[in-house]
Amino acid sequence: MSETKPTRPFLVWLLIVLQLLLGVGALGGGGQFIAAPDGSIINMPISVLQNSPFKNYLIPGLILFVFVGLFPVAVAYSLWKLPAWRWPNAINPFKKMHCSWAASLAAGAIVLIWITVEVQFMTPVFIHFFYLGWGIVLILLTLLPAVRRYAQLPHRD
């Protein structure tokens, strides 16, 4: 029997799109903070950081860019292609699942952690609740049976 990639159900496509949109948005936001750590590109005053451990937006921008930007983009790609990468399996706690499934759960958790930490240092606004919901949706979609079946290993004829 040869290994085959399963047909992607609609819910997997939805998860791929949500991961990709999250990542692209965070790449843009994080990139703007990296390019202008004073927040000037998006008119975000440094005073927003007054209760935080940061003097400017460089470190938060780097974290946003890498963990909420690059990581979900890589997750979207991995969910789409189901590449036969071996190296992620070293940290994949779900050995019967493709690494993209565990990574998708992690991406949802990262968004929840990011927003939870962020609101510790600033007054919550609508966007925080929006992204909190987005993280929850990522986790819930990842846990749905159709997505789990898609990500189960091995994929055989």
For residue 39, the model assigns a pLDDT of: 96
pLDDT of residue 85: 86
Q: Give me the pLDDT at residue 86, please.
A: 85
| Position 3 confidence tier, pLDDT thresholds 50, 70, 90 | low
| Cβ-contact 28, 57 below 8 angstroms | no
Q: Is 88 exposed, middle or buried (0-12, 13-18, 19+ CB in 10 A)?
A: middle
User: What's the Cα-to-Cα distance from 145 to each of 63, 80, 103, 134, rounded to whole Å?
Assistant: 31, 17, 17, 19
pLDDT of residue 1: 45
- Quick check: 15 and 8 in contact, CB under 8 A? no
What residue type is assigned to position 44 of the chain?
M
The alpha carbon torsion through 145, 150, 152, 153 (nearest 10 deg) reads 170
